[in-house]
Each structure stands twice: as structure tokens, then as C-alpha cells.
């Protein structure tokens, strides 16, 4: 069996291309059947769409071609750059993804939960079994240990991510809080993704051209689209404000701003600034700007760089150990068949014992059955130990194939 992953992410496909494949609502059952896949798991997020699958080694190229053909369906001539990894490289890719090393924001937290949900859904639907369940379980466990030991996600790089994360640490992202996004450029597009992944109650999006917003924002249950003129009214109902317009002048001015009676955090990610500095002098108002956040980003970059090198070394080691486990499955297959044969022979022997009445009591019968089974297991012990000791994967597969042929297991 071979494990593979085929997909696109924020580096290989545009937002529009990722939207196209997300709107396909690909039916996992159809993909599995059409490509004759043994196991299948789909990981779909705003930043990536990946299909992890397991196929027989003898037909894996045909299976891969079929999966690729299905994924290319909605694009026509506007094809994104699909990547394809197999075996140890596929496992390594999943480990990096789960740790946040392959995310737009290095080390981000949300992907871990998304990976867990993906394999949970695949298992519940019967698409993932022994191999993918094991690999994904190991990936999640590995990522948790990395986050605990190295605290990779505690040093964010993106100004948007830093801003939202700091807002959460300051207590502004609970289910009792409301946020307002004023403008939604590139920085705002990233910020709102993090906001919507938080427990926050709702997010007002005050923009000039709502028709240009992405579908995931327009259709999100937490989002309330508002006109740009309504921005001050939205701010009055919010405890958190993030401003990210491309205006050449301030758009949140002191003369129109109503001083709050409760604490409010205003984050100005625009350059030039969106928020007049005077607003930050009001009681109950905390105002953060880009310069304050950039200092944190620069400091965190070096920390992340050093930690990432440590993680990569661990990823390589972990992917090799998981691959060894997968390779051993060939031995497990023959062992399972051997045990089934032993059980069958033992049952036939016990039928003979019963016919000839060789066992006087029930206890005698049970002892004879144990004796037959344990004696037969001694026959498979030497070849089993030899198979497990063979380091050459090709040689081991050859021996297993010969045994299956000799025992008529295929």
C-alpha cells in the first residue's frame, strides 16, 4: 500500500482557484469509488484543499491520475499548481501542515483542529481506516507535543495575526464580545479569518464595496455587512475595532467618535493610519498601531526561524518512524492470514478429538485446544522474526509475496 497526498494551498493557488475547488463540494464517496482508493481523507480549509489517500502499490499511478483528473474538473485552462507527495514525503507533508509550518502564518493554531476534524469525518463515513487513522493520529499527537515543548505558535509573524492574538490575550475575543472591521484589504482579510475562528459573538464589516467581499465572509453566520457610512454606529456597539482601509487619510476621526463608557480596543493596521491619534487619549480606549506590532513581529521572526529548524529535524525523524510502521503492515497481513489458518486447523483437529472422544472433560478439551494452537504458532515464529528483521523493504515485500503465493492467500 502507498499513502499519497494531492492538493493546492495558498502558495500554489489563488484565492479564486481555491474557491472553485471548495465550491465543488467534492463527494468523498465518488472520489473513492472512481479512483479505486483503499482509504481517503479530505482536508479543506480557507488556505488549502488536500486529498490524502491510500492505494495498492501495483496501481497507484493510475489511482493518482484519476484523483488529479477529478481535481482538475472545475478549472479549464486556469489550472493551479497541484502538488503530489507519496510515502514518507506525504507523511512529512502532513506533519508540517499539522504543526502549522505550511500555513500562511507560520505556526498558526487553527490547522490542528481542522486536521482532527478531517480525519474524524473520514473515519465516521468509513473512508479512513487503519493507515490514515494511524498517520493522522500520529500527526496530531506530534503537533501537540511540538506546540507544548517548543511553543511555536506563541511567536506569530503576521501583523494581523499578532493583532488578533494579542486582542484575545487581552480578553476581547469571548462569546460576549462584538468586533467591527473598518475596511477589508489584505491585512483585514487575514484578520477576519482569525476573528471568525475565535469565540467572538459577531463581526460588523463596514466597507464601501460589499460586493467585492469573498463568499466565506458574506455567508458566515457571525458576519453583519454594513455600509461604510455606518462605521461609527458599529463602533459604538463593539468592544474591538480593527481598521484596515487603503484610504490616504484617517477614516475614524475624533470629531465623529463617541467616547465609550466601557473599555474598547482599537487596532489600526493601515498605513497611512486610519485612526486619529487623539482617539487613543480617551478614557476606556486602547489604541494599537502598526509600529507597535512590527516590533513584536521582528522579534518573533528570529525566534520562529530557530524553532522551525528544530521542528524540521523532528518531522524527518517522525515521518521515517511512521513509514517503518506502514512497511511492517506487509508482515501484519501475512501474520493475520497465518493466524486464521492456525485457527482453522485447530478447529478441524478439535472436531476429530470430539468424534474420537479423546477428551474426557471440558477442561481436557480446552487444554488440548490450547496445545494444538500454541504448537502451530511455534511453526510461524522463526519466519515471522526473520521477516521483521529484514531492513530492505523490497526484499521483505518479495518474501511476503512468495509466502502468500505458497499458502494461496491471494
- CATH T-level topology, domain 2-154: Beta Polymerase; domain 2 (3.30.460)
DSSP codes of every residue in 183-241:
--SHHHHHHHHHHHTS--SEEEEEES-GGGS-HHHHT-TTEEEEEGGGHHHHHHT-SEE
At 323-332, the pLDDT tens digits run 888 877 777 7
Q: Which element (helix H / strand E) includes 311? A: helix 290-356
The per-residue pLDDT for 365 is: 87
Superfamily of 159-294 according to CATH: NAD(P)-binding Rossmann-like Domain (3.40.50.720)
- Least confident interval from 128-137, 218-227, 263-272, 352-361: 352-361
- 2-154 and 159-294, same CATH topology: no
Cell of 1: 500500500
Q: Residue range 133-155: average pLDDT?
A: 84
CA–CA distance, 276 with 4 (Å, rounded to integer): 53
The per-residue pLDDT for 293 is: 74
At 82-116, the pLDDT tens digits run 999 999 999 999 999 998 888 766 666 778 889 99
The per-residue pLDDT for 136 is: 97
Judge whether 334 and 387 are in contact, CB under 8 Å. yes
CA–CA distance, 173 with 199 (Å, rounded to integer): 6
The per-residue pLDDT for 178 is: 97
Name which residue leads in pLDDT, 116 or 77. Answer: 116
Q: Is the dihedral of CA 87, 88, 89, 93 positive or negative?
A: positive
The per-residue pLDDT for 268 is: 92
Name which residue leads in pLDDT, 384 or 294. Answer: 384
The per-residue pLDDT for 359 is: 73
How would you class 262 by CB atoms within 10 Å of its CB: exposed for 0-12, middle for 13-18, buried for 19 or more? exposed
Cell of 36: 479505486
Judge whether 263 and 288 are in contact, CB under 8 Å. no
The per-residue pLDDT for 191 is: 86
Q: 180: pLDDT confidence band, cut at 50, 70 and 90?
A: very high
**Domain extents in the chain:** 2-154, 159-294, 330-407
**Averaged pLDDT of the chain:** 86
Judge if pTM exceeds 0.75: no
Amino acid at each position: 500500500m502507498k499513502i499519497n497526498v494531492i492538493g493546492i494551498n495558498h502558495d500554489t493557488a489563488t484565492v479564486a482557484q481555491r474557491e472553485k475547488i471548495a465550491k465543488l463540494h467534492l463527494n468523498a464517496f465518488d472520489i473513492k469509488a472512481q479512483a479505486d482508493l483503499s482509504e481517503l481523507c479530505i482536508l479543506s480549509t480557507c488556505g488549502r484543499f488536500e486529498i490524502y489517500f491510500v492505494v495498492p502499490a501495483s496501481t497507484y499511478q493510475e489511482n493518482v491520475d484519476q484523483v488529479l483528473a477529478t481535481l482538475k474538473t472545475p478549472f479549464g485552462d486556469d489550472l493551479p499548481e497541484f502538488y503530489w507527495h507519496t510515502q514518507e514525503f506525504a507523511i512529512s507533508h502532513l506533519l508540517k501542515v499539522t504543526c502549522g509550518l505550511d500555513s500562511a502564518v507560520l505556526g498558526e493554531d487553527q490547522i490542528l483542529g481542522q486536521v482532527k476534524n478531517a480525519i474524524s469525518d473520514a473515519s465516521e463515513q468509513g473512508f479512513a481506516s487503519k493507515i490514515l487513522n494511524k498517520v493522522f493520529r500520529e500527526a496530531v499527537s506530534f503537533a501537540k507535543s511540538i506546540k507544548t515543548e517548543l511553543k511555536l505558535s506563541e511567536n506569530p509573524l503576521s501583523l494581523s495575526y499578532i493583532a488578533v492574538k494579542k486582542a484575545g490575550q487581552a480578553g476581547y475575543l469571548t462569546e460576549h464580545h462584538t468586533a467591527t472591521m473598518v475596511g477589508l484589504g489584505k491585512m483585514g482579510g487575514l484578520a477576519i479569518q482569525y476573528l471568525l475562528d475565535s469565540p467572538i459573538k459577531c463581526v460588523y464589516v463596514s466597507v464601501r464595496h460589499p460586493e467585492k467581499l469573498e463568499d466565506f465572509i458574506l455567508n458566515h453566520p457571525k458576519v453583519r455587512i454594513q455600509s461604510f457610512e455606518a462605521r461609527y454606529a458599529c463602533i459604538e456597539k463593539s468592544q474591538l475595532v480593527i481598521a484596515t482601509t487603503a484610504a490616504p487619510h484617517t477614516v475614524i476621526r475624533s470629531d465623529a467618535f463617541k467616547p465609550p463608557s466601557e473599555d474598547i480596543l482599537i487596532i489600526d493596521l493601515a498605513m497611512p493610519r486610519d485612526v486619529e491619534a487623539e482617539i487613543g487619549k480617551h478614557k476606556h480606549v486602547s489604541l494599537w498601531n502598526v509600529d507597535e506590532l512590527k516590533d513584536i513581529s521582528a522579534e518573533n521572526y528570529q525566534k520562529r526561524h530557530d524553532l522551525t529548524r528544530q521542528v524540521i529535524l523532528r518531522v524527518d525523524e517522525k515521518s521515517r518512524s511512521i513509514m517503518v510502521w506502514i512497511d511492517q503492515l506487509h508482515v501484519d497481513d501475512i501474520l493475520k492470514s497465518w493466524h486464521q489458518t492456525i485457527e482453522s486447523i485447530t478447529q478441524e483437529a478439535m472436531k476429530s478429538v470430539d468424534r474420537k472422544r479423546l477428551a474426557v472433560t471440558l477442561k481436557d478439551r480446552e487444554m488440548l485446544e490450547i496445545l494444538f494452537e500454541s504448537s502451530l504458532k511455534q511453526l510461524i515464529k522463526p519466519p515471522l522474526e526473520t521477516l521483521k528483521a529484514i531492513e530492505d523493504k523490497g526484499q521483505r515485500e518479495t518474501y511476503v509475496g512468495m509466502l502468500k503465493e505458497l499458502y494461496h492467500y491471494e
